[in-house]
Structure 1
């Protein structure tokens, strides 16, 4: 089957600095027996073996969309998969009506604020044959607001290639790691509140904050960072994926303190695969990502996170057991092969090939 994967405006499908959506697409595409081509904008620092058609981002949005439509038509796919951005995807899908398609959402769809908002979304969704979500939680949330799509909405959890995130739970440094956007909804503030209590009590431990998109919330994020003891802190901003892997490999504990409803939580999978014991807020799809293999906090506060961290720091056996069970869980359940087969079946059903 010929599959066109259309990325949102601004996405370049870079091989060395991918965002989380591009990482999921790449992981699911490697080794596929289908003929997959990714359609994205120019500007990537490097490419890999997945075929890409680059679209010039110059000009107004109508000109850019016309280029994208022409490129996809030239590829003549059996199925088109639009990722994430419903507004631009709807306009392109409307010009490719003869080709079966889906809108692949990597986040929760916001509840409509009023009837006009609902009508606008339903009108936009008319361009899509089906919808794919990255967790059962995100799917259920969508159908709770739009039950009319129940017969054509699917959930395929994010995968991970655990071999790319090696880490031995028995060979870890005394490090607590956070990896994510430097944004309030990711729980950075309560985590920093917790670390201001925990780190001074344990001078042999340190924290590593790997912060993406620091420029967007930099002033706010820096105010949180400034609470922490500098001698026990490393802050890494906008790092390439290999640098994130290296930090995860050496960390003993990873904290995923998201306040908002996480669509799934790829960073939790990465932490598990790297052999970290995981402290999680459990919001949204995070419990699907970690199941019984994370230490969950009842609320995302500094005191709750501090208590969880103290528990893991003070109990070596619990920390290692949690790390080992989480690592085994993602290798067994969240493998690329398993999720790729699941997604292939969904795609085949949509395309009726």
Structure 2
């Protein structure tokens, strides 16, 4: 079976600029899968065979980027003649490519009601008639089907290859970690505020932050980043900036506590899953898909509720038995998202779609 996976236009498929979608695609891709996206520098991620698309110029150069990217994708579809197309996070593009006469999977990682081609119930209803829709959490499924009758929207959660995670040290550091984009939605400033409030009550503990405004080394400076970094320095937090994914996982393996204080409703919450799988105790926001991911393995705290994040931090810092219990439950919860079963589910979904087409 030849599968062609279409990345979002701005998703880098390289180790030094990969976001959650690219990492997931690389993790799940079979060696014969074709992954298409915009041009990268250096070596691509290992999953599948990466093909950089060339957007058309000439009369097309004045068109919107989305249109030019669609045309480039259509060219690759004609060239490779896949049995199945999988489009990540772009409803309008998935709908357009469904006109190629090949089965299309639309895999949603973010709220469809914020996406071009899926904002209105009528658009989402039409999508279900032309593409097969997958989402990474029950929360996203509810968002897709809001104001609609129940429909064929399949939950296919993100996954991790647990066997490849870094080996943790024999004894973990008294370390509290924030790892994520340095933006308000991710609650970076809430983490700084909470640590500043509790650090004097946590002798021997330290805090670090990994992240920048974007998933790349040359991320832009923003007023938010400047403000948060100034506050973090005042609170004694070590700032590490952007780090590659393997470095983030190594930091999680060393940390005792990982905090995921997102303000926006995380559609899934891969950082929380990685932290649990790495053996850290987790504090997470109770919004979006995060409660599904952490189950009963984490402490939940709203980032802007007075004292909530601070109290959760102190509970874990002061109670080693509670940390141990969270770690044990976290390992058990993370096993539900292991790569092997996820690959089997994806394989069956692909085979079913291709088989249904052949019957028509």
Give the TM-score taking structure 2 as reference length: 0.86
What CA distance in whole angstroms lies between the structure 2 residues aligned with 1:45 and 1:230?
Answer: 38
Residue 43 (structure 1) shift: 1.3
Q: Stretches of 4+ moved more than 6 A in 1?
A: none
Secondary structure of 1:110's aligned partner: helix
Secondary structure of 1:67's aligned partner: helix
1:42 is aligned to 2:16: no
Equivalent residue, structure 1, for 2:146: 144
Equivalent residue, structure 2, for 1:155: 155
Q: 2:285 aligns with which of 281, 285, 293?
A: 281
Equivalent residue, structure 2, for 1:13: 13
Would the alpha carbon gap of residues 88 and 213 (structure 1) be closer, same or farther in structure 2, given more than 3 Å must change? farther
What CA distance in whole angstroms lies between the structure 1 residues aligned with 2:138 and 2:212?
Answer: 26
Equivalent residue, structure 2, for 1:84: 89
- Kindly report the root-mean-square deviation, in angstroms, between the aligned alpha carbons of the 2 structures: 2.7
Q: Unaligned stretches of 5+ in structure 1?
A: none
What CA distance in whole angstroms lies between the structure 1 residues aligned with 2:204 and 2:292?
Answer: 33
Q: 2:73 aligns with which of 57, 68, 75?
A: 68
Secondary structure of 2:231's aligned partner: coil
Residue 169 (structure 1) shift: 7.9
Would the alpha carbon gap of residues 200 and 142 (structure 1) be closer, same or farther in structure 2, given more than 3 Å must change? same
Contact in 2 for aligned 1:167/1:248 (Cα 8 Å): no
Query: 64-73 vs 310-319, which deviates more?
Result: 64-73
Contact in 2 for aligned 1:182/1:188 (Cα 8 Å): yes
Would the alpha carbon gap of residues 2 and 117 (structure 1) be closer, same or farther in structure 2, given more than 3 Å must change? closer
Residue 199 (structure 1) shift: 1.4
1:103 is aligned to 2:106: yes
Equivalent residue, structure 2, for 1:304: 308
Secondary structure of 2:82's aligned partner: coil
Superposed, 1:1-353 pairs within 5 Å as 1-29=1-29, 32=30, 35-47=32-44, 48=46, 50-57=48-55, 59=57, 60=61, 61=65, 62-94=67-99, 96=100, 98-110=101-113, 118=120, 121-122=123-124, 125=127, 128-147=130-149, 150-168=150-168, 171-213=171-213, 215=219, 218-230=222-234, 232-297=236-301, 300-301=304-305, 303-330=307-334, 332-352=335-355
What CA distance in whole angstroms lies between the structure 1 residues aligned with 2:196 and 2:26?
Answer: 38
Secondary structure of 1:171's aligned partner: coil
What CA distance in whole angstroms lies between the structure 1 residues aligned with 2:147 and 2:180?
Answer: 29
Would the alpha carbon gap of residues 210 and 348 (structure 1) be closer, same or farther in structure 2, given more than 3 Å must change? same
Would the alpha carbon gap of residues 72 and 302 (structure 1) be closer, same or farther in structure 2, given more than 3 Å must change? farther
What CA distance in whole angstroms lies between the structure 1 residues aligned with 2:308 and 2:48?
Answer: 43
| Structure with higher RCO (Cα < 8 A, 6+ apart) | 1
What CA distance in whole angstroms lies between the structure 2 residues aligned with 1:12 and 1:321?
Answer: 37
What CA distance in whole angstroms lies between the structure 1 residues aligned with 2:170 and 2:130?
Answer: 48
Secondary structure of 1:227's aligned partner: helix
Give the TM-score taking structure 1 as reference length: 0.88
Deviation per CA, 1:321-348, whole angstroms, max 9, x where unpaired? 2113212321x21100111112222222
Secondary structure of 1:131's aligned partner: strand
Number of paired residues?
A: 343
Secondary structure of 1:255's aligned partner: strand
Residue 57 (structure 1) shift: 4.2
What CA distance in whole angstroms lies between the structure 2 residues aligned with 1:184 and 1:27?
Answer: 29
